[in-house]
Amino acid sequence: MVNLIRGLRWRWFRARFLWQNGRQVTALGENNCFMSPVRGGGAGKLRIGQANCFGYWLSPRLGSGEILLQARSPEAEISIGDGNAFSNNVTVVACGKIQIGSHCQVGDLTAIYDCDFHEIDPATRTRGVGEIRPVRIGNNVWLGSRAMVLKGVEIGDNSVIGSMSLVTQSVPPNCLAAGVPARVIRQIGGNGPAASATAST
């Protein structure tokens, strides 16, 4: 009975996501699992691969655990690969482009932004979103709970970002980075799915 109820909820969350964001979803692969509501609401494009999981029953959640994937402007694009696991209350907002690879793990309350949403100068602060710089998350990356990734950051394959870290600079592949702002702490092994895929190409 529990599995039946969960199955119905997954189908409902997926149907609602497509109903609310059908014009923005330019690609949605097979076997994506919607354990939490997913909201878009932007004017750009959402490209989602296959076998991704959005939300997790056993993880902490605020309210419904809603996940926000918002390509805000008409030119904006969020691209998500295959086999990623997003925990609850994740926020991804693009005014330009945010790319997330495959086989990534994204902790609860993690946020990824490609701009500041306001200009710095007090005289023009409400004029626009400020500088937009693309964000790229590689393959097999683990973003710990409550991490925040800001504009212009590239995180290399297999790297790990510690919980509650603020990532303002790019992180090379196969590294553990943490802190506010995040700094590389040490190298880690590169034997995950991304490494295997890279080795075979």
103 in Cβ contact with 83 (< 8 Å): yes
Residue 179 tokens, joined = 């802190």
Q: How far is CA 182 from CA 61, 132, 150, 152, 166, in A?
A: 25, 20, 11, 14, 5
Residue 41 tokens, joined = 């609401």
Which run of H or E residues covers position 178?
Answer: strand 175-179
Please tell me which residue in 118, 125, 127, 183 is annotated as part of the active site. Answer: 118
10, amino acid identity = W
CB contact burial 149-161 (16+ within 10 A = b; e otherwise) = bbbbbbbbbbbbb
Q: What is the dihedral of CA 170, 96, 180, 156, to 10 degrees?
A: -30
Residue 145 tokens, joined = 């709970």
Residue 79 tokens, joined = 């691209």
Indicate if 103 belongs to the active site: no
Catalytic residue set: 118
